[in-house]
Amino acid sequence: MVKVQINKSTIGGILRCPSSKSYTHRAIAIGSLAEGRSVITNVLLSRDTLATLAACKLLGAVIKHENITLHIEGKHSYDAPRNILNAENSGTTIRILTAMAALVKKGFTIITGDDSLRKRPMQPILDALTQLGVHCYSSRLNGMAPLIVKGGGIKGGTAIVNGGISSQFVSSLLISSIHADSAVTIRINGEQVSKPYIEATIATMKAFGVTINYKPKISEYYVENKEYRSTVFDIPADFSAAALILSAGVLTGDEVTLNGLNFGLPQGDSHIIDIIREMGGKIKVEKEKGKVTVYGCSALEGGEFNLADTPDLLPVVSILALKASSPVRIYGVAHARLKETDRVSNITSQLVKLGATVRQRNDEIVISSPEVLKNSSLEAFNDHRLFMAFTIASMLTEKSTVTGAESVDVSYPSFIQDMTKLNASIRLIPDRE
C-alpha cells in the first residue's frame, strides 16, 4: 500500500474538474449496444471505466480510443465472450454487465471482480433478471460474484427490485431491457436510494435516442422494445470529484475555482453546493460559465444532512464536519456500508484518530469536531473516496500520513497532482521510510 505524507496547507488556484466516472460507464455501455459508430468525448480513463471498456470489447463492441475520445462500433446481440469479464473494483461495471450478458445469443458469460467486489451484493439484479426470463446465478450461491449468466436474451415482463441497496440494479435493467423480446416493467420495492444516478442513466439513454416512461409516484419504469441510435456524446465533468476539491477549498483554501462543470445533465453530487451554503461556507456559482468558486473559512456550521440519494458525499460532508462549530448528523447512509468498503464504520474509526467525537448507527453518523485536530496515521482501506477525503482532512493538521494512494486510480487518477497544483503539501513516502 502506498503512503503519502501531508503537511498543513493553504491551497488556492484554478482547476479543471475531471470527467464523470458515472457518465463514462453509461456512455461506453450504451454506445456498445447502439448499432453504428458512436463517438464519446472527454471520457474518464480510470481503473473502473477501463474495466467497463475492456468488458464491452470482450462482448463484441469494437472500441478504439484517441486520447480521451472513444470511437465505438456497437451491436445489441453478442456472441459468448472468449474470456471471463473482470469488473475489477467497479460495482457499476459488474451490475451493468450482468444485464448486458443476458443479450449474448447463446452460451455462458462469467463475470467477476477483485476481492472487494466479490463481497458486494448482486442478488437483486440476479433476481430481477430471473423474473425477466434470464438464467443467471452466483457461482458460490451466496448472491455475490463470480456470476454466471446464460445467454438467450431477456424475455420481458415485470421485475421487482429492492431499492434500498443500490440504484445500479435499476440502471442495469434500464440500459439492456430495451432489447428484451417484449416490454419490461421495473417496479421498485421500498424506498429507492441514489435516485440521481438513475436519472443520469435515463439522460444518457435519451442522448442515444431512447426515452423511458417513469411513474414516480409508484416508482415504476416502463421500457419498450427500442433501438439505440449511435451519436456523439460529451462526458460532463464529475461532481463527485468536484465535491472533494470544493471541500478542500472550504477547509484549507484561500480561493479555489473549478472550471468545466456541466449543470445541464443530472448529477446528484452537485448537492454539495447547497450543503456548503447550509454549513455557512462561501461559494459562488456561475452555471452559464460552468464555474464554481469557494473561499476558505475559519469555521462552519453544523446541521443534519440526508444523503440517501448522494452516498458518495458521505466522506466529503464528514470532513467538512471537522470545522463545524456544532455537531453534524449525516443520515440515510446505510447503503454506504455496501460500497467499496463499509464507509460509515471506516470514516468513524479514522476521524476518531484526528480527535473528533463520532457516533454511528446503522444508517447515520454524528460528528463533533475537536478544538484542534491531531496529527495522525490514517488508513483509507483501499477506498479511493476515503483516501481523497482523509488526505484533504490531513491538510488541517501539522503533519499526517494516509495509506492507500494507489486507490485513486479507480476514479480520479490525477488527484494528487491536481492537489499539488493547488499548493497542497503532499509527498509519496518511499517504502524504506
Q: Quote the cell numbers at residue 112.
A: 467477476
Helix 21-33 and helix 47-59, axial crossing angle in degrees, nearest 10:
10
pLDDT at 216: 73
pLDDT at 295: 96
Residues with a catalytic annotation lie at 312
Those residues whose C-beta lies under 8 Å from the C-beta of residue 315, and which sit 6 or more positions away, are 244, 343, 347, 385, 386, 388, 389
DSSP state of 104: B
pLDDT at 392: 98
Contact 324, 298 (CB under 8 A): no
Q: Read off the pTM.
A: 0.92
Q: Is the peptide bond before 236 cis (omega within 30 degrees of 0)?
A: no
pLDDT at 286: 96
10-residue averages of pLDDT along the chain (433 residues): 94 94 97 96 95 97 94 93 96 97 97 95 97 97 97 97 93 97 95 92 96 83 95 95 96 93 91 97 95 95 96 97 97 92 96 97 95 96 96 98 95 95 93 55
pLDDT at 431: 65
